[in-house]
Amino acid sequence: MLEKTPFRTEVHGIAPGTSLLTLSGDLDYDTAAELFTLARDLFAGDVRHLDLDLSGLDFIDSSGVAALINVYNAAGEHDATMRIVALTSYLRHLFRVTALDQVFALPPKEE
Amino acid sequence: MTGLRPASHGVDQVRAGPFPEAPGEDLLRAIIEAGGEGVVLCGPDDIVVMTNAAAARMVPGIRPGRPVTGGETASLFGPGYPEGESREAAHGPLRLRIRHEVFGIAHRAWYLRDVTDETARADAALAEGRRTAFLIEAGRRLAASLNTRRCARATVELAVPFLADIAMVVLPPSGRRNVQWLRRTGDGPLQEGSVPVTATVGVPGLAESLAGFPPVPSRWLDPGQVPDWVLPEGFGSAGHLLVTPLPGNGVPAGALVLARHEGGPAFDEESETLVRLFASRAGAAISAAALYQEQSATTAVLSGHLLRPDLPVLDGLELAGSLRAAQHAGLIGGDFYDVYLPDSEGSGGPLLVLGDVCGKGAGAAVLAGQVRHALRTLLLLEDRPERLVPLLNRSLLASTAPNSYVTLALGTVETDGDGHVLMNLSVAGHPAPLILRADGTVEEAPVRGSMLGALRKIVVDVVTLDLAPGEMCLFYSDGITEAFGGPSGREMYGTQRLKTALATCAGMPVAAVVERLEQLSTAWLAGDIQDDRALLAVQARAVGR
């Protein structure tokens, strides 16, 4: 079996009401729920803006994409916003294929 | 008293010196009383001349003046055993070790030792060892199967003859009116049958055991009440009965009915304990097997929906598909493909769909089934992809199940009069299909769109592809391109490799192309199938075929 990189999350409050959530490792079937639970708890607290740093993600599967959509929808339900501030070219390609680049706020492409 | 032996005993040795006289009877008696062994001294004709208290306790029947070989003691003091050798014999509740020595021509002494306790301890150790070995063997055989019938069979085969003369496992009624049983008698063959649930009431303790009540001691169960269906023909009547529940996962996994012949040993406390231990193992094995079988049945039902559908034969085009599920045991994948034919009233062409639902396992299978069903229904009303896709999205958004997300590629195909196939193609969050041109060029269909079930507002594109005879369009799932393997084992196969592989397939029949791509992907994975992989290709029929 392919070795998995452990999924890690780190939350930093960077301004009042704004948190930076840094993800690394594999966001997949086994770890997707962890992300959603964490984000939901943040929105249920005082977080109004959530910045996601995805540049450390090694792999993401359909459940991982679903978790990101769930976070996006949860933000909407709490009158909060979600923004992706960093990502890999693989993720950018994936968001393009799934047309999520038109939904998520993504950082401008570095040339 | 010369010639007495053995001299080394030093009892009656004649010595020169100041004490030549032989010991008197009192002294002799004192000497034999002092020993821990029972001593029976016999004179001519095996008449007892002297015994000590120990001997009298062990064998109360012997008295001085009476022959030792008569009556109930004959078996102990028979002459048929070599002198000086010990043997053991049962005498009433005791177990005695006996040896005799001959002194002179007329006297014979019997030495008796009570070894009842020693033997009992040895027997107990032996029995304990046998019980342990039995439980180990039971654990080994019961763990070997995930089939309820085979577990029940192992249970009765283990129980006879070690625990009883008849063993019967009665499985719990699973909603039906009958209960199934398996029985073994002696070394006879396995017998199976079923009886109405109402018949279980007739066996003392059985209905209670099937209901999961703790077992009652065997002595409370009347073996005379055992009905005929429990006992095999020719067994006669049961002498002892023991009925024990087979405890399962919360619910009883059945009951174990044990019977012994009339006149055989009763079930004592020790064997009841052993049976309870055995029953708990058998019950765990049977309930695990039942759970597993239930799960496999569910899996079979669910994956039946995902089986590769038979592709229809259509005018002017060829179809081929391949679906390989991930290897994760018990997990059902979420890749699927389908070809929907327009009904007789419909005007459009057939619809090709290849999709991938979010997640794994039964949830994914149910979702895939819902998507396919929804598509079939929606197609009755609408077959234009740009209208069909938003309808499907709304249907998925209305689903109450969490994560009802789907990506798919779909296209309607029509043939024109020149052997070309025209496809109206749309994708929803799915990798864009690839087009193999006649000259070996591979193009990515210039179309993309949102995945479905996630967002109210979605993007839907439709492009029309024109496939000349021999050209094909390949739908694939991300299990193909996101397969990690290759020389390092961690490299992603990627779209570029798939395009390169497809480019080498120009001119090949579509079935061969799909097979080749599937093989290349499997080789890349080197046997480690991590995700479902689906391929569906459509080819405009080549001229002359």
Structure tokens at B105: 């021509």
| Range B267-292 average pLDDT | 90
Q: Does A111 map to a domain?
A: no
pLDDT tens string B458-497:
889 899 999 999 999 999 998 888 888 888 878 888 899 9
Residues of chain B contacting A63 with CB distance shorter than 8 Å: 358-360, 403
SS3 B185: strand
**Assigned CATH topology for domain B30-118:** Beta-Lactamase (3.30.450)
Min Cα–Cα distance to chain B from A64, Å: 9
ipTM confidence score: 0.77
pLDDT tens string B430-456:
999 999 999 999 999 999 898 898 888
Say how many domains are in chain A: 1
Q: What is the dihedral of CA B438, B441, B442, B448, to 10 degrees?
A: -90
State residue B164's pLDDT score: 92
Domains B30-118 and B144-301 share a fold: yes
Residue A88, domain extent: 8-102
Q: Does A108 map to a domain?
A: no
For residues A37 and A9, what is the distance between their CA atoms, to the nearest angstrom? 12
Min Cα–Cα distance to chain B from A69, Å: 7
Q: Which helix (H) or strand (E) holds B284?
A: helix B269-306
Would you call B528 and A61 a contact, using CB atoms and an 8 Å cutoff? no
What architecture (CATH level 2) is domain B309-540? 4-Layer Sandwich (3.60)
Pick the CATH number of B144-301 from 3.40.50.10610, 3.40.50.2300, 3.30.450.40, 1.10.260.40: 3.30.450.40
A67: nearest CA partner in chain B: B403
For residues B167 and B170, what is the distance between their CA atoms, to the nearest angstrom? 10
Would you call A69 and B458 a contact, using CB atoms and an 8 Å cutoff? no
pLDDT tens string B491-540:
888 899 999 999 999 989 999 999 999 888 888 887 676 777 889 999 99
Q: Spell out the alpha helix ranges (H) of B175-244.
A: 206-210
For residues B498 and B483, what is the distance between their CA atoms, to the nearest angstrom? 11
Count the alpha carbons within 13 Å of A49 in the hemisphere toward its beta carbon: 11
Domain coordinates in residue numbering, chain B: 30-118, 144-301, 309-540
Structure tokens at B410: 């779909």
Would you call B429 and A70 a contact, using CB atoms and an 8 Å cutoff? no
Burial of A86 (0-12, 13-18, 19+ CB in 10 A): middle
Residue-wise burial string across B449-468, b where 16 or more C-beta atoms lie within 10 A, e elsewhere: bbbbbbbeebbbbbbebebe
DSSP state of B287: H
Structure tokens at B231: 């006992």
A104: nearest CA partner in chain B: B455
Q: What is the CATH number of the domain that holds A58?
A: 3.30.750.24
State residue B3's pLDDT score: 45
B223 to B116, B220, B231, B257, B260: CA distances (angstroms):
33, 9, 11, 11, 9
* A2, A73, A99 member nearest B484 (Cβ): A2
Q: Does A88 map to a domain?
A: yes
DSSP code string of B462-524: -EEEEE-TT-EEEEE-HHHHT-EETTTS-EE-HHHHHHHHHHTTTTS-HHHHHHHHHHHHHHH
State residue B327's pLDDT score: 58
Of A3, A53, A59, A64, which Cα lies nearest the Cα of A31? A64
* B359, B448, B454 member nearest A63 (Cβ): B359
DSSP code string of B526-538: TT---S-EEEEEE
Q: Does A39 map to a domain?
A: yes
pLDDT tens string A13-72:
888 999 999 999 988 888 888 999 999 999 998 899 999 999 999 888 878 888 999 899
Of B257, B265, B263, which Cα lies nearest the Cα of B241? B257
